[in-house]
Chain A
Amino acid sequence: MVDWQFFALLLSNGVLIGLMYSLIALGFVLVYKATDAINFAQGEFVMIAGFLVAVALGAYGAPLWLAVALALAVMIAFGFGLERVMLRPLIGRPIVAVIMATIGLAAILRGFGPLMWGAETKPLPLPIPDEPIVWGPFFIPPIQLLGAGVSLLFLAIFGWFFLRSRQGIAMRAVADSQQVAMAMGVNVERYFALAWAMTGIVSALGGLIWGNLLGVDVHLALVGFKVFPVVILGGLDSIPGAIIGGLIVGIVENVAAGYIDPWVGGGTKDFAPYVLMILALMIRPYGIFGKQIIERV
């Protein structure tokens, strides 16, 4: 009975944390889906958004709604601007150029955050209780519940957007073939910018939730590394895949930490998802829901 309770606890925690990973992975998926760009700076986007909210709350005493609105506005503008300044000139260049550019951007942002706002860890308080909700065997921290809820809401909104809205269909067309989309009258650059702006929205929310959970400093960017196992498992371009991948990573790292850490002294959480990622790459490299691309030579 006690074993079962322990497992249920690990599982519920994994599900909620996993959905919070899904939110950040969604930012990555949106950009990849529309523009084929692999954004290695996703974690840094989240970090910058976290800084914005924490500094607005802490240093300037802004009300929460204003701090969040500010972070959203800045991150959307940042997404638009980034597409314009850094990514548009790289259109048509080898994909590795974009990858290197985002890796460089990530390093710049990791330097910029602490430089601008200080290196010390800043709290990002939210007006929600700290005490976990106890329900049967489950101990649920309210922030995780909020994070999972926000995550599901935005996954649903963006899922609907791609499936049903005209802009979503156009964005899928752009992702499929930029040239053909152009010939159909789609302004490709506009959709690239929209995708980066949408990633800005997701990153702002991710910064809010993860910033509250972990505190805001340069290490907040590390949450971005969890995106890779999530999207490799779920598929780089799949929104349902981001949910499933997030759940798998969340559950696996919690269960692994719960059962293996006592034997090895800790740290399992940090590498278990990557073991899974490498296995997944060997078995199903396009992910559970990703589109299977048959390379024509």
Chain B
Amino acid sequence: MSAQLEIRDVSKAFGGVQAVARLSLEVPPGEILSVIGPNGAGKTTLLNMINGFYHPDRGRIALEGADITRHRPSQIAELGVARTFQNIALFKGMTVLDNLMLGRHVHMKSGVLASFAYWGLAQKEEVAHRRRVEDIIDFLKIQDLRRRPTGSLPYGLQKRVELGRALALDPKILLLDEPMGGMNQEEKEDMARFILDVNEEWGTTTILIEHDMGVVMDISDRVTVLDMGQKISSGSPDEVRSDPRVIKAYLGESRRA
């Protein structure tokens, strides 16, 4: 099967630090790919290049065959790439519902004047989007949180709402930056279940960065290991687990620590 997302020979440096070096990666549609590696391995830089926050110094990123290397983040979101953030990045003053409705932004077409008028197209559109958002609310079991400002929610629920906001884009590709970071075991299991369900129900390609190896090994179709900006291993969870280069990178990390 051909790749939905193709990253070819991509490099990115910040000052003298080579964050990502000549990295190539192909992600077929529907795959759950975990990117792991020690701190500073370039994982978040990779996600930031995929969604357009950073532009690579060299190399090419293609989504369904189309070059998106130099696209702006908003354009890449419109093409169907949604993401969450390592530190929760919900709009804090806004309700859960408004956060999710914002996720529908790329699908909304009516302009300022139409929305001021609020009837006809704008209203019909609003109803359709609201229905989709309600589906996601049901899916994530956050029905009783609709009107709550997100800043007031406990940490684990904020992470769940942030996933919901990304899902509201109806993404082809979901980028999750440490979706279980800082969670307790029960919350981690819930989140893992949601990620698997999303993948199963909508066939969403998912690329996630995660430190909890138990979770990574459980839910991933494939695991890619980065170290010092380079791919040192890639394969099924079992293959990666027994790869001596991976063990060395992680042991090296723990010796440094």
Chain A interfacial positions (CB closer than 8 Å to B): 157, 161, 165-167, 169-170, 172-173, 176-177, 179-188, 194, 291
Instruction: Please report the C-alpha to C-alpha distance between residue A182 and residue B74 in the assembled complex, in whole angstroms.
Output: 5
Known contacts A182-B72, A182-B74, A183-B73; decide if A172 and B83 are in contact (CB<8 Å): no
- Verify if B105 is at the interface (C-beta below 8 Å from A): yes
Instruction: Please report the C-alpha to C-alpha distance between residue A176 and residue B112 in the assembled complex, in whole angstroms.
Output: 20
Q: Are B105 and A170 in contact (CB under 8 A)?
A: yes
Contacting residue for B115 out of A166, A173, A188, A291, CB 8 A = A166
Known: A179-B89, A182-B52, A182-B77. 16 other contacts (CB 8 A): A166-B115, A167-B112, A169-B94, A169-B102, A173-B91, A173-B94, A176-B94, A177-B89, A179-B53, A179-B73, A180-B91, A184-B82, A184-B105, A184-B106, A185-B74, A188-B74
Q: Are A172 and B73 in contact (CB under 8 A)?
A: no
Across the interface, name the chain A residue whose C-beta is closest to B162.
Answer: A180
**CB-defined interface of B142-186 with A at 8 Å, one 1/0 digit per residue?**
000000000000000000000001000100000000000000000
Instruction: List 15 A–B pairs whose Cβ atoms lie within 8 Å, in order of A's numbering.
Output: A157-B116, A166-B104, A167-B115, A169-B98, A170-B102, A170-B105, A172-B98, A176-B91, A180-B91, A184-B102, A184-B103, A184-B165, A185-B74, A185-B105, A186-B105
Residues of A within 8 Å of B98, CB to CB, are: 169, 172
B14 to nearest A CB, angstroms?
16
Instruction: Please report the C-alpha to C-alpha distance between residue A150 and residue B67 in the assembled complex, in whole angstroms.
Output: 50
B78 to nearest A CB, angstroms?
5
Q: Are B94 and A172 in contact (CB under 8 A)?
A: yes
Residues of B within 8 Å of A180, CB to CB, are: 85, 89, 91
**CB-defined interface of B88-105 with A at 8 Å, one 1/0 digit per residue?**
010111100010011111
- Verify if B108 is at the interface (C-beta below 8 Å from A): yes
Q: Are B78 and A185 in contact (CB under 8 A)?
A: yes
Q: Are A182 and B105 in contact (CB under 8 A)?
A: no
Instruction: Please report the C-alpha to C-alpha distance between residue A172 and residue B102 in the assembled complex, in whole angstroms.
Output: 10
Instruction: Please report the C-alpha to C-alpha distance between residue A268 and residue B52 in the assembled complex, in whole angstroms.
Output: 55
Instruction: Please report the C-alpha to C-alpha distance between residue A46 and residue B136 in the assembled complex, in whole angstroms.
Output: 46
Contacting residue for B77 out of A157, A173, A184, CB 8 A = A184
Residues of A within 8 Å of B82, CB to CB, are: 183-184
